[in-house]
A and B are shown apart, each in its own frame.
Chain A
Amino acid sequence: MSTQTPTHTLTVNGQTIAVAHGTTVAAALAIAGNGVSRISVSGQARAPVCGMGVCQECRVWVNGQRRLGCQTLCAAGMEVVSTHNTALGQML
């Protein structure tokens, strides 16, 4: 018995990709070739480390809100943007 795995189409830093149901946003970033999730204060590239919501390195914008990429599942139509690809500074 085989079933077709459902997929979701979303954009990652403007690039449209399709991922399997259950894929995390952090994984989608890697699939899209965006291993760098953010840039540190001192200018170093950062990538997801812990996969469990502790290291905070996978902070990304998801539909305009800051989310932990490793704790967020991809959904159809989602717009994911690495934090270094956006103007820093979101007023309250």
Chain B
Amino acid sequence: MSKDADVIVIGAGIVGAACAHALAQAGQRVLVLDDHRGGATAAGMGHLVVMDDNPAELALSHHSLEQWRGWVPHMPADCAWSACGTLWLAANAPEMDAALEKQARLQAYGVAAEMVSASALQALEPVLRKDLTGALKVPGDGLVYAPNAAQWLLNQYPQAIQVRQVAAVDVEEPRVRLSTGEWLKADAVVLASGIYATQICPELPIRPKKGQLLITDRYPGTVHHQLVELGYVTSAHHAQGPSVAFNVQPRPTGQLLIGSSRQFDDTSVDLDPHMLARMLQRAQHYLPGIGDLNAIRCWTGLRAATPDSLPILGAHPQRPHLWLAVGHEGLGITTAPGSAQILAALMTGATPPLDPAPYSATRFAELS
């Protein structure tokens, strides 16, 4: 049986697209399978944000953002790149201390980050509530419209990347069985289908973390930066129970995209009005006038969360020829480029741009 490609990538979201792109760059012939059901890439906010909960996250997000900044000048306008930067908002003295600590961590890593006083913050974003203590500005952050960015990545190497709209239902590596019953063969298979990867690999230690978003009508010039509460790190990121945090983006269309909520193990795509209300109350707490805006749509999505919030990148420890690029939780758009480079390097024997150890599947007992 002749092979259908050098590598089959399952999932055409941002992570699968970036993996296909990196593998094509490394000279591989790639077949990408996607069933168009829409995953976290289609549902997410598309933020490109340096995150620093731990050194491995900082290394991956910082390296990835440099890749993004290299890509975006070449992307078409419909990828909606915006170099808006992030303002991490401090509501009180302890959060201001947290901002200073964050600034020190980022600067030590070479990431530009500047403190913004309360009065300077009001000048930057006049619609914020007036009693905030200040903010940390990270000017290198930005945002994209991720579905189009993924499509752009897949289009970059038309000779090397082929995309097929079909559901992959089983892997007996290095073969993939389709919903049509057909088997496809390659040298290696990459699983990059977010939370749906558990349907093919139930042993993966990833859990759905549902999120809800709301987008408004167009109100250009209302806010200028991505606005995130510093409490985000403590109130939402590490929480086990349902949580909300204030996160608003000024989309290039003039719309405001409002997040964010987190609920574990709810796999329904239904809106949860209670969580949505909590999320919007949180947004109103920071942007008092936001309730007067016209919302035009809200939706849900599922993040694929690992126990330590880092993605799983590299070989499946028990299944030769099966490679994993999953578990990016809420940071998949940001970290897709670095994740793909690490995976492609491991697969082709090249030197990864970062130490791949923190992202290895062997860190989980279920997989080692």
Contacts and interface: CB of A to CB of B under 8 A. Distances in A.
A88 interface: yes
Given A59-B217, A90-B219, A91-B127, A41 B253 contact: yes
Interface string B259-281: 00000000000000000000000
A21 interface: no
A92 B127 contact: yes
Nearest to A40: B253
A89 B220 contact: yes
Nearest to B294: A66
Nearest to A89: B220
Nearest to B128: A92
A65 to B, nearest CB: 9
Contact of B292 (A41, A59, A92): A92
Nearest to B222: A92
B221 interface: yes
Interface in A11-66: 41, 56, 59, 66
A56 B216 CA distance: 11
B296 A92 contact: no
Contacts of B218: 41, 83, 88-89
Contacts of A59: 217, 294, 296
B296 A89 contact: no
A89 B254 CA distance: 8
A47 to B, nearest CB: 16
B74 interface: no
Contacts of A89: 218-222, 254
A66 B218 CA distance: 11
Interface in B167-224: 217-222
Contact of B287 (A83, A90, A92): A92
B293 A56 contact: no
Interface of B: 127, 217-222, 253-254, 287-290, 292-294, 296-297
Interface of A: 41, 56, 59, 66, 83, 88-92
Across chains A and B, which 6 residue pairs bring their CB atoms closest together, nearest first?
Answer: A92-B289, A66-B294, A89-B220, A92-B127, A41-B253, A56-B296
